[in-house]
């Protein structure tokens, strides 16, 4: 069977879905691998690195015609689908909620799997693209926000006096948030965190953070482990708690998302207006509207002395690490699809991993 991948739109997406290391694994598992030329040149990965592992370099049109399985990061443009091999398989991270019309309009007999829909079960952890990529996003958000902050992060005791440790608040203690907490703590910050899921409290505290909980709150967690929308009463109590806390906070990392919906607005205008000038808000939820009132996607704005960063493509700043993890996630998903005994793809709809991610 042939596995292929064509170049992404490099102006928007720097990650790739097959690396030389992973292509070697596919070939060892009995697949043939074909990729478009210069697919990884922007990452310092030369075509010769792929060829050395046994890959073949071909034209885009030939790859889409020949591939039994096409691996991508984002949804290919519609022009590419007209060349697709009949009954092939397309796997990637296709943002189904925003691309549903495009996917439904594709007139072909291919099977499309979008891995952001993976169920949160133990067996799917090695395929979980959201977790692997969010981990990097949480780390990078802290690094970039610290670079913008004009004070030292750890406490420093000097002959000239003591520099106090900076205070960081992480909004949303999912994978990105927990990595942000861990990174900020390692760099010497005092870290606070808040989340609507009470189960997060133990995780936050295990990393050395202080969990801010709303008095009398219920656990707002879905069966799949995601956050669900809070009640108006909860939102009001959360606002009161955050309003006081934010007056003392230097850096806020926003990571709160609800799958399939706009990001919850957690930091309102009055909260931000009362923050200390020079503070930084780094909003990783910008692509879904942002958690902060003044967030603009892919822009840095200043309000009353507070810097607000709206980040929607942060993984493009760590494309090599992100590609390595993403490619491994896809490799594990392909192995789950592949019937090694009969050397064919088996779309077993009784497998929750397959049934939940199949979108067409």
Tens-digit pLDDT profile for residues 284-335: 999 999 999 999 999 999 999 999 999 999 999 999 999 999 999 999 999 9
CATH (residue range 131-316): 3.40.50.720
CA atoms 183, 187, 193, 199: torsion sign: positive
Answer whether 327's CB lies under 8 Å from 91's CB.
Answer: no
pLDDT at 175: 95
68 catalytic residue (yes or no): no
Measure the CA–CA gap between 30 and 90, rounded to whole angstroms.
19
pLDDT(205) > 60:
yes
pLDDT(233) > 90:
no
Options 95, 213, 226, 321, the catalytic residue: 226
pLDDT at 259: 77
Q: pLDDT for 82-130, tens place per residue?
A: 788 878 899 999 988 888 888 887 767 789 999 999 999 999 999 999 9
Find where tokens 């990174």 sit.
Answer: 183
pLDDT at 334: 97
pLDDT at 63: 94
Measure the CA–CA gap between 174 and 139, rounded to whole angstroms.
13
pLDDT at 222: 59
pLDDT at 221: 56
**CA distances to 156, 157, 163, 187, 189 from 160, in Å:** 10, 8, 9, 22, 21
Measure the CA–CA gap between 140 and 117, rounded to whole angstroms.
24
326 catalytic residue (yes or no): no
Q: pLDDT for 238-288, tens place per residue?
A: 888 999 999 999 999 999 988 778 999 999 999 999 999 999 999 999 999
128 catalytic residue (yes or no): yes
46 catalytic residue (yes or no): no
Options 125, 206, 231, 355, the catalytic residue: 125
The CATH number of 2-117+324-357, from 3.40.50.2300, 3.40.50.1110, 3.90.79.10, 3.40.50.720, is: 3.40.50.720
pLDDT(227) > 60:
no
Question: Looking at per-residue confidence, does 86 or 223 come out higher?
Answer: 86
pLDDT at 340: 81
pLDDT(228) > 60:
no
Which of the four pLDDT bands, split at 50, 70 and 90, describes residue 360? confident
Options 23, 131, 145, 323, the catalytic residue: 131
276 catalytic residue (yes or no): no
Options 29, 47, 120, 321, the catalytic residue: 120
Helices H, strands E: what count in the chain? Answer: 12, 17
Residue 351 DSSP code: S
The residue among 302, 337, 286 whose CA lies nearest residue 111 is: 337
CA atoms 349, 353, 355, 358: torsion sign: negative
Delimit the CATH 3.40.50.720 region(s) of the chain: 2-117+324-357, 131-316
Partners of 211 in the β-ladder: 193
Options 72, 111, 114, 128, the catalytic residue: 128
Q: What average pLDDT is seen over the chain?
A: 92
pLDDT at 211: 95
pLDDT at 215: 67
Question: Looking at per-residue confidence, does 163 or 218 come out higher?
Answer: 163
């Amino acid at each position: 069977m042939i596995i292929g991948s064509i170049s992404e739109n490099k102006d928007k997406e720097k990650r790739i879905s097959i690396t030389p290391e992973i292509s070697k694994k596919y070939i060892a598992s009995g697949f043939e691998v074909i990729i478009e030329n210069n697919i990884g040149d922007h990452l310092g990965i030369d075509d010769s690195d792929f060829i050395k592992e046994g890959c073949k370099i071909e034209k885009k049109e030939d790859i889409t015609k020949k591939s039994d399985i096409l691996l991508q990061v984002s949804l290919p443009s519609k022009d590419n689908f007209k060349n697709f091999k009949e009954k092939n398989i397309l796997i990637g991270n296709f943002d189904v909620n925003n691309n549903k019309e495009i996917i439904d309009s594709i007139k072909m007999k291919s099977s499309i799997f979008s891995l952001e829909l993976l169920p949160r079960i133990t067996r799917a952890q090695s395929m979980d693209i959201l977790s692997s990529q969010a981990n990097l996003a949480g780390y990078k958000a802290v690094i970039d926000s610290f670079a913008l902050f004009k004070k030292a992060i750890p406490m420093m005791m000097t002959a000239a006096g003591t520099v106090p440790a900076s205070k960081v608040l992480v909004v949303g203690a999912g994978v990105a948030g927990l990595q942000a907490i861990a990174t900020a703590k390692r760099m010497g910050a005092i870290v606070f965190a808040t989340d609507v899921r009470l189960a997060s409290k133990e995780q936050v505290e295990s990393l050395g953070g202080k969990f801010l909980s709303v008095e009398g709150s219920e656990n707002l967690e879905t069966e799949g482990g995601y956050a669900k929308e809070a009640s108006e009463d909860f939102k009001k109590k959360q606002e009161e708690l955050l309003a006081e806390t934010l007056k003392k906070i230097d850096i806020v990392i926003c990571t709160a998302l609800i799958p399939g919906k706009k990001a919850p607005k957690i930091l309102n205008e009055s909260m931000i207006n009362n923050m200390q000038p020079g503070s930084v808000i780094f909003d990783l939820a910008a692509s879904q509207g942002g958690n902060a009132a003044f967030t603009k996607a892919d822009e840095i704005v200043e309000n009353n002395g507070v810097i607000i960063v709206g980040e929607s493509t942060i993984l493009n700043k760590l494309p090599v690490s992100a590609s390595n993890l993403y490619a491994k996630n896809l490799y594990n998903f392909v192995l789950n699809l592949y019937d090694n005994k009969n050397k064919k793809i088996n779309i077993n709809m009784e497998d929750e991993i397959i049934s939940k991610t199949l979108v067409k």
